[in-house]
A and B are shown apart, each in its own frame.
Chain A
Amino acid sequence: MITKQTVLRGWNKAVKLVLSLLKYIIPSIFFMKILEHSGWLVRIADFFAPYMAYIGLPGEGALVLLFGQVTVYSGIAAMVILDLTAKQLTIMSTVLCISHVLVLETAIVAKSGANGLLNAGSRVAAAVLAGFILNFVIPGV
């Protein structure tokens, strides 16, 4: 049964989520902008570029995956700063969706009785594999 309470509950959850997003999105963007204007973004990108090229992403993508370990939204914030093509955006999103907040989520999974190493390892492998295949499958640059 849908009542006024249902909508109100959804609204409250959304407001809470948005407020918590501010805490992650603004610092992430601020940090990315500092890296960009200090010239460190280019240096980091150059370092990771050969590895990230395997999954069709620019070197800066490594930072997105790193930021994504705090929350998914930190990763998103880092991602919007970069000039990504439509193809890169989809690959980056898929990789980030599969492999994010690994430390915390693996701790939860391990506490629930599953093998944490197997779980985290498979997620990283799945993310790399998905990026690798999508890079071939999706047309364009």
Chain B
Amino acid sequence: MDWSKVLLETLSSSYSTILRIVLVIIPLLIAIECLKDIGWLEKIADHSHSFTKFLGLPGESAIGLIIGVFTGIVLGSGVIMQIQEDANMTKTQINVLFLFVGICHGVVEETIVFTAIGANGLVIVGSRIAAALLFTFSYIWITKIVDRHSVKVKPGMH
């Protein structure tokens, strides 16, 4: 194996990759901090109560969902942990919330970085939202059927 070639190509590939990421990440993170200070996350959360209702979640969970979807799972889960005590969420609701955030999180940073290396950002975001909706609704649907079934079966067993 030609080690000098390996090293040289590593350096040139690393340089171009990092440069491409740096050029989008610095303005992006500054823009996100600006938007945070305007309070955009809270504003979006205020307008997404109908969406959380659509997922069968309490209105208080909107801010956790929005922070998770826009920034990432680490920050999102911290907020959700605080909310679930106040909002008295059921196990199913917590699973629904994390299913959505798990499939679809950190969308701003990830989408822009992947777009910078040549992928179609619109397809990425669209697919993630569609997949998140599909899996949360499948889960809600299955839990409902299991619940109904267990209620029906219990009296008949005696």
CA distance A34 to B37 in the complex (A): 45
Residues of B near A76 (CB, < 8 A) are 17, 21, 113-114, 117
Majority secondary structure of chain A interface residues (helix, strand, loop or mixed)? helix
CA distance A119 to B105 in the complex (A): 13
Query: Among the listed B32, B38, B98, B119, which residue makes an inter-chain contact with A93, where contact means beta carbons less than 8 Å apart?
Result: B119
Contacts known (A13-B29, A90-B120, A118-B139); A126 close to B6, Cβ less than 8 A: no
User: Which residue on B lies nearest to A39, using beta carbons?
Assistant: B1
B60 at the interface (CB under 8 A from A): no
CA distance A80 to B21 in the complex (A): 12
B44 at the interface (CB under 8 A from A): no
Q: Are B14 and A118 in touch, CB under 8 angstroms?
A: no
CA distance A34 to B1 in the complex (A): 8
Q: Chain B: residues with CB nearer than 8 A to chain A? A: 1-2, 5-6, 9-10, 13-14, 16-18, 21-22, 25-26, 28-34, 36-38, 73-74, 77, 80-81, 84, 91, 94-95, 97-99, 102-104, 110-111, 113-114, 117-120, 123-124, 127-128, 130-132, 134-135, 139
Taking A37-B5, A114-B99 as given, write out 16 further A-B residue pairs in contact, using a Cβ cutoff of 8 Å, ordered by the A residue number: A2-B38, A6-B33, A6-B36, A7-B33, A10-B29, A10-B32, A21-B18, A29-B13, A77-B14, A98-B104, A108-B77, A112-B94, A115-B95, A127-B131, A129-B134, A130-B127
- 16 A–B pairs (Cβ distance < 8 Å), ordered by A: A3-B37, A7-B33, A9-B33, A10-B29, A10-B34, A38-B1, A76-B21, A79-B117, A92-B119, A98-B103, A98-B127, A114-B94, A114-B99, A115-B91, A115-B95, A134-B127
